[in-house]
Amino acid sequence: MTDIPLLIAGLGNPGESYARHRHNVGFMAAEAIAERHRFAPWRPRYRGLIAEGALSGRRTLLLKPMTYLNDSGGSVGDAARYLKLPLDSVVVLHDELDLVPGKLRMKTGGSDAGHNGLRSITASLGADYRRVRIGIGHPGAPAVLSYVLHNFSKADKEWLAPLLDAIAEAAPLLARNDDAGFMNRVALLTRPPKPPKPKPAENGHGV
């Protein structure tokens, strides 16, 4: 196991009024990982809140930037530079409009696709960090801002809780740099149950 720590940054906006917004799903995912793997309590550092623990035996720091989402790069950049991390040891959890609700994908590098939190991190660190893209769906161009800055709906909660649980369960694979394995594990854990097979029709002879 590498001696290089892993930094997992969940993106969102600080404050109770933002806590259940779609834009804050990165915070929610980080909190789920911290709870599942019994990380230390959150404390202020790097212009954010951090919780320390271990995943797969690797020292891991969870970070929730308190700089507001659009300026996430200040906090994530501070942490990554202080810890002297290569970019493949930085994982960012964020909402993704271009994925249907409840779907998850991982990628390394690439564009920010209009996500201001990613744009800020890329400006601070460069683009080649790892991203966990958590699908929230797209409402159509005119409604994007009100959509992301609004609470998840009641219907969303049916997929949101199982997805956060799956992210937390699969998180140790991130510490092993097994991004494909992480995606596959989350997909398996969130797969809808198969419908029961219909009972064979009786043939009229009691068989």
Give average pLDDT by consecutive 10-residue segment, the chain, 207 residues. 91 96 97 98 98 98 96 98 97 96 96 94 97 93 86 94 98 98 97 76 54
Check: CB of residue 122 under 8 Å from CB of residue 111: no
pTM: 0.91
> Is 23 a residue of the active site?
yes
For residue 207, what pLDDT is reported? 47
| AA identity, residue 191 | R
DSSP summary character for residue 56: T
Chain centroid to CA 126: 20
Catalytic-labelled residue, pool 23, 37, 94, 115: 23
Bridge-based pairing state of the strands 48-55 and 58-65: antiparallel
Q: Compute how many other C-beta atoms are within 10 angstroms of the C-beta atom of residue 140.
A: 7
The whole-angstrom distance between residue 100's C-alpha and the CA centroid of its chain comes to 15
pLDDT at 195: 73
Q: Which residue is associated with the tokens 């993106």?
A: 11
Write down the pLDDT at residue 201. Answer: 62
3-state secondary structure of 122: helix
DSSP single-letter state for residue 100: -
Domain range 6-189, its CATH number among 3.90.550.10, 3.50.50.60, 3.40.50.620, 3.40.50.1470: 3.40.50.1470
Partners of residue 107 on adjacent β-strands:
131
What is the spatial distance between Cα 188 and Cα 151, in angstroms, rounded to a whole number? 27
